[in-house]
Amino acid sequence: MQTIEIIQEIQRLPITKRFYVVEETIKSIKKEELSHQMEIAANELYGDYVNDKNLTAFTTLDFEQFYETK
* 9 in any annotated domain: no
pLDDT at residue 68 is higher than 80: no
**8-61: pLDDT as tens digits:** 999 999 999 999 999 999 999 999 999 999 999 999 988 888 888 887 777 777
Q: How many domains does the chain have?
A: 1
* 64 in any annotated domain: no
Alpha carbons 7 and 12: distance in angstroms, whole number: 9
Contact residues for 1 (Cβ-Cβ < 8 A; gap 6+)? 9
* 68 in any annotated domain: no
Phi, psi angle pair for 68, to nearest 5°: -75, 130
